[in-house]
Amino acid sequence: MNYNIDFKEIFDHAPVEEPERQYYFMDRTRELVEMKKQYEGYAAHFMVEVMGCQMSAKDGEKLQGILERCGYTMTDNDRDSDVILFSTCTIRENANMKLYGRVGRLKHQYENRPGMIIGITGCMMQEKDEVEGIKKHYPYVKLIFGTHNVYKLAELLYAALSSGKRTIEIIDDTKMIVEDLPSDRKYKFKGSVNISYGCNNFCTYCIVPYVRGREKSRNATDILRECEKLVADGCLEVTLLGQNVNSYGNDIPGSTSFPELLAAVAEIPGMKRVRFMTSNPKDLSDELIQVIKTHPNIARHIHLPMQSGSSAVLKKMNRHYTKESYLELVRKIRTELPDVSLTTDIIVGFPGERDEDFRDTLDVVKEAHFDSAFTFIYSKRTGTPAAKMEQVPEDIVKERFDELLAAVQKSSAENEGRDLHHEVEVLVEEKNQNQDGYLTGRLSNNILVHFKGNEELIGTMQKVRLDESKGFYYFGTLC
In order, the DSSP letters of 217-280 are EPPHHHHHHHHHHHHHTT--EEEEE-TTGGGTTTTSTTPPPHHHHHHHHHTSTT--EEEEE---
**Residues 171-230, interacting with ligand SF4 (CB under 6 A):** 199, 201-203, 206, 208-209
In the list ligand SAH, ligand F3S, ligand SF4, none, the entry touching 52 (Cβ below 5 to 8 angstroms by class) is: ligand F3S
| Of 379, 411, 415, 440, the one binding ligand SAH by CB under 6 A | 379
In the list ligand SAH, ligand F3S, ligand SF4, none, the entry touching 378 (Cβ below 5 to 8 angstroms by class) is: ligand SAH
Q: How far is the CB of 292 from ligand SAH (least distance, A)?
A: 18
CA dist 93 and 20 (Å) reads 38
First to last CA, the chain: 60
| Of 378, 401, 451, 474, the one binding ligand SAH by CB under 6 A | 378
Nearer to ligand SF4, 203 or 407 (CB): 203
In the list ligand SAH, ligand F3S, ligand SF4, none, the entry touching 317 (Cβ below 5 to 8 angstroms by class) is: none
| Of 243, 279, 379, 415, the one binding ligand SF4 by CB under 6 A | 243
In the list ligand SAH, ligand SF4, ligand F3S, none, the entry touching 345 (Cβ below 5 to 8 angstroms by class) is: ligand SAH
CA dist 442 and 425 (Å) reads 8
CA dist 7 and 167 (Å) reads 15
Contacts of 269 (CB under 8 A, 6+ apart): 231
**Residues 343-362, interacting with ligand SAH (CB under 6 A):** 345, 347
Contacts of 280 (CB under 8 A, 6+ apart): 201, 244, 246, 247, 305
Indicate the residue whose CB is closest to ligand F3S: 52
Q: Based on the shown chain and the rule CB under 6 A, indicate whether residue 30 belongs to the binding site for ligand SAH.
A: no
Contacts of 276 (CB under 8 A, 6+ apart): 239, 240, 241, 242, 245, 258, 262, 299
Q: How far is the CB of 382 from ligand SAH (least distance, A)?
A: 10
In the list ligand F3S, ligand SAH, ligand SF4, none, the entry touching 47 (Cβ below 5 to 8 angstroms by class) is: none
SS3 for 16?
Answer: coil
Alpha carbon 221 to its chain's center: 22
Taking each helix axis as running N to C, give the angle between helix 258-266 and helix 286-294, from 0 to 180 degrees, rounded to the nearest 10. 10
Contact residues for ligand F3S, defined by CB under 6 A: 52-53, 55-56, 89-91, 123, 207-208, 211-212
Q: How far is the CB of 115 from ligand SF4 (least distance, A)?
A: 38
In the list ligand SF4, ligand SAH, ligand F3S, none, the entry touching 202 (Cβ below 5 to 8 angstroms by class) is: ligand SF4
Measured torsion, CA atoms of residues 74, 78, 82, 87, in degrees rounded to the nearest 10: 70
Contacts of 156 (CB under 8 A, 6+ apart): 143, 145, 149, 167, 169
Q: Based on the shown chain and the rule CB under 6 A, indicate whether residue 376 belongs to the binding site for ligand SAH.
A: yes
Q: How far is the CB of 57 from ligand F3S (least distance, A)?
A: 9
φ/ψ of 98, rounded to 5, equals: -60, -45
Piece in contact with ligand SAH (CB under 6 A), picked from 118-126, 212-220, 372-380, 462-470: 372-380
Nearer to ligand SAH, 378 or 474 (CB): 378
φ/ψ of 17, rounded to 5, equals: -75, 150
Nearer to ligand SF4, 201 or 256 (CB): 201
Nearer to ligand SF4, 203 or 302 (CB): 203
Q: Based on the shown chain and the rule CB under 6 A, indicate whether residue 404 belongs to the binding site for ligand SAH.
A: no
φ/ψ of 286, rounded to 5, equals: -60, -35
Contacts of 38 (CB under 8 A, 6+ apart): none
State how far the alpha carbon of 342 is from the alpha carbons of 23, 297, 352, 370, in Å.
Answer: 42, 17, 28, 5
In the list ligand SF4, ligand SAH, ligand F3S, none, the entry touching 65 (Cβ below 5 to 8 angstroms by class) is: none
In the list ligand F3S, ligand SAH, ligand SF4, none, the entry touching 56 (Cβ below 5 to 8 angstroms by class) is: ligand F3S
Q: What is the Cβ-side half-sphere exposure of residue 461, based on CA atoms within 13 angstroms?
A: 15
Q: How far is the CB of 326 from ligand SAH (least distance, A)?
A: 12
Identity of the residue numbered 420: L
Task: Tell me which DSSP letter residue 388 carries.
Answer: G
Binding mask 202-241 for ligand SAH (x = CB under 6 A): ---xx-x---------------------------------
Which residues contact ligand SF4 by CB under 6 A? 199, 201-203, 206, 208-209, 243-244, 280
Question: Where do contacts with ligand SAH occur on this chain (CB under 6 A)?
Answer: 91-92, 205-206, 208, 243-244, 278, 280, 305, 307, 345, 347, 376, 378-379, 381
